[in-house]
A and B are shown apart, each in its own frame.
Chain A
Amino acid sequence: MRRILFLSFFFLFSPWIVRDAQAYLDPGSGSYLLQILIGTVLGILISFKIYWKKIQLFLTGLFKKPSMKKDGEAQVSRKKSK
């Protein structure tokens, strides 16, 4: 996840070339816009992480052998989820 975030900003901003700002800065707008960009990227990553966990859970549930004792319960719950 860190790599994706890193690469996104690497291409979006190429910030290693930052030079000193001679003029008066109004940092409000820049900070405001950057937050929305970071928030959006982080939001996508979080959503991806949540869905990926759901997919993982679904797949492990699909291929997991139901235990002997709770065989009946497991069958019922799988049917319900379908």
Chain B
Amino acid sequence: MRIELNINSRKVCADIDPDMTLQKFLREKKYYSVKCGCETSNCGACSVLLDGKPVLSCSVLAVRAQGYRIETLEGLKEEAEEIGAFIADEGADQCGFCNPGFMIAAIALFREDPEPSDEKIRIYLSGNLCRCSGYEGQMRGLIKYRDQRRTA
């Protein structure tokens, strides 16, 4: 079937099978920031924004994403660099494989609530698994980012 998607403000048309997931479609179109870490909607590595809300692209059919604004990290470079710098300063990027999904969730969080509490950060990002960092470094980075914005 033919679909027309809005990805990072660009129109992308394709003929696809109806059962194709958005995750597979985005990778096929070379949006490589979108990772596959599980296939069971557990890890968060495939997160993208759908009309600004973070979703697991492995659990959304590509065809269902029609009519929504899809954003991958490729389209969010500025925000990713701004927040990412604080993660980098903690060394918490580590292997990096979970980073794009984590960054998507972090960007969505700070758009939604510019001053989230520590607890809110933890809960909001709880669906993004990381096996390297023990999460503490990511938390330190996000807390510093939040506090720096507060004083800026």
The answer to whether A and B interact is no
Residues of B within 8 A of A (CB): none
Residues of A within 8 A of B (CB): none
